[in-house]
Amino acid sequence: MTLLADAQPPAPASPIRISIVEDDLHTRRLLGNIVAGTPVMRLVSDFSNCADAIAALPAQRPDVVLMDVNLPEMNGIECVRRLKPLLPKTQFMMLTVYDDTDNIFAALSAGATGYLLKSTSRDELISGVLQIHAGGSPMSSAIARKVVRSFAQPAPAPQPAAPADPNAEIATLSDREQEILGMLAQGFLYKEIADKLVLSVFTVKTYTRRIYEKLHVHSRSQATAKYFQRPT
């Protein structure tokens, strides 16, 4: 995860293409104005409901989608779950008033890679978009603390039926892939991993794609969840 207090990544070479899914007109316009007023971003589209977003976004292929959680008819988490397989390169940032653990993990499991509260400031939102586009997983500090605390909870008692080996998928990774997965789980950006391992960013992304394929996941957050679930 990447806290908003972390150093802001450098500006991208071309504007980050943004789409917004938010049913509240005032909030949607506010977000649109922030995006439109930020030189490193470009507003591609905005939607008031999931059905319209699901119909249009696969063709538009934005870099980042700002997704509300509490949407009519279909919530934002289910919307991400349906869109992520169609848009594997698009990063989904949840924007919500909810900071409960269930919603956080449901969103991350669905394929979201960032989770910010709507009370987040304009500058923090812009920083979060830059971070998620650069390979980070930005979270508000209060949410990050909840995630960390959840990992610190005692493991539940084993069920009578023998569970499948949770380490089996991790074991299929090569030593280098496991090393890169560990760094991804710690919140390192692709460039930081490349610098530390003396690799190109392209090579790190290739390793990451192989890791996702072997772990049967679509995002850094899902891979990170499996990393932390492995036996130690």
Q: Are residues 37 and 110 in the same domain?
A: yes
Distance CA 225, CA 218 (A): 12
Where among 149, 178, 202 does a domain terminate?
149
Write out the residue range of the structural domain in which residue 176 sits. Answer: 168-220
The confidence score (pLDDT) of residue 159 equals: 56
Q: Are residues 172 and 63 in the same domain?
A: no
How many domains are contained in the chain?
2
Region 80-108 average pLDDT: 87
Q: Are residues 143 and 193 in the same domain?
A: no
Question: 17 vs 228, which has greater pLDDT?
Answer: 17
Predicted confidence (pLDDT) at residue 4 exceeds the cutoff of 60: no
Q: Are residues 18 and 133 in the same domain?
A: yes
Distance CA 51, CA 39 (A): 30
Region 5-33 average pLDDT: 86
**Confidence at 226, pLDDT banded by 50, 70, 90:** confident
Q: What is the pTM of this model?
A: 0.63
**Confidence at 126, pLDDT banded by 50, 70, 90:** very high
Candidates 18, 56, 22, 53; CA nearest to 38 is 18
Residue 230 lies in a domain: no
Question: 13 vs 148, which has greater pLDDT?
Answer: 13
Region 105-131 average pLDDT: 89
Region 74-98 average pLDDT: 92
Q: Which of 17-21, 44-48, 118-122, 159-163 has the lowest mean pLDDT?
A: 159-163
SS3 95: strand
Check if the beta carbon of residue 31 is closer than 8 Å to that of residue 22.
Answer: yes
Predicted confidence (pLDDT) at residue 58 exceeds the cutoff of 80: yes
How does pLDDT run across 152-184, given as a tens digit for each residue? 555 555 555 444 454 677 788 888 998 998 888
Q: Are residues 37 and 116 in the same domain?
A: yes
Q: Are residues 72 and 13 in the same domain?
A: yes
Predicted confidence (pLDDT) at residue 202 exceeds the cutoff of 70: yes
β-partners of residue 95 are 68, 116
Region 12-22 average pLDDT: 94
